């Protein structure tokens, strides 16, 4: 088995945002000569997530609305009692809602590679969720094949 490791960097916007990272993953696959295998995509942050779904503007707004209902920013959270927490950086945000949203999604996805292409369905895209932006984020990609 052969393994190729790559890291994607994503500069995110403020608040909840959803990015289609399918083109970047496809570029990674093309940059190798891999014909068949799998790619593991892993979000390296506790306030981000990944999903495979349709990248359609109105659906993206529905998803954001749904996530805000699950964990409203205005609710009271113990994690946000910054004065009671130890060893936190001075710029620590009150972001318990973002952690809770991330727990409802995935932090990784695995997609087959067939004939040098992602084996996604017609309306499927690999979506990266920023739940606490703006930030500089990294997504770890591991392509493995025989």
Angle at 41 between CA 73 and CA 136, to 5 degrees: 50
pLDDT band at 1 (very low <50, low <70, confident <90, very high): confident
For residue 35, what pLDDT is reported? 96
d(CA 54, CA 126) in angstroms, rounded, equals: 8
Helix (H, G, I), strand (E, B) or coil at 53: strand
Question: How do the domains of the chain map onto residue ranges?
Answer: 2-145
What pTM value is reported for the model? 0.95
Q: Over the stretch 113-136, which tens digit does the pLDDT of each residue have?
A: 999 999 999 999 999 999 999 999
CATH label, 2-145, candidates 3.40.50.720, 2.60.120.460, 3.20.20.100, 3.40.250.10: 2.60.120.460
Neighbours of 5 (CB within 10 A): 10
Strand pairing partners for 129?
Answer: 18, 49
Residue 9 to residue 4: CA distance in whole angstroms = 17
Q: What is the pLDDT of residue 96?
A: 98
pLDDT score for 8: 98
Average pLDDT of the chain is: 97
13-55 pLDDT per residue, tens:
999 999 999 999 999 999 998 999 999 999 999 999 999 999 9
Question: What's the pLDDT at 146?
Answer: 83
**pLDDT per residue over 77-111, tens digit each?**
999 999 999 999 999 999 999 999 999 999 999 99
């Amino acid at each position: 088995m052969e393994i190729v490791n790559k890291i994607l960097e994503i500069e995110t916007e403020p608040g909840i945002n959803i990015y289609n990272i399918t083109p970047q993953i496809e570029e990674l696959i093309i940059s190798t000569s891999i014909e068949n295998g799998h790619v593991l995509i892993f979000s390296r942050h506790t306030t981000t997530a990944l999903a495979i779904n349709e990248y359609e503007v109105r659906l993206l707004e529905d998803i954001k609305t749904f996530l805000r209902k699950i964990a409203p920013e205005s609710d009271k959270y113990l994690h946000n009692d910054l004065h009671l927490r130890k060893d936190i950086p001075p710029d620590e945000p009150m972001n318990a809602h973002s952690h809770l949203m991330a727990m409802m999604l995935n932090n990784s996805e695995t997609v087959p590679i067939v004939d040098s292409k992602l084996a996604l369905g017609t309306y499927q895209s690999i979506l990266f969720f920023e739940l606490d932006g703006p930030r500089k984020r990294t997504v770890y990609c591991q392509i493995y094949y025989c």
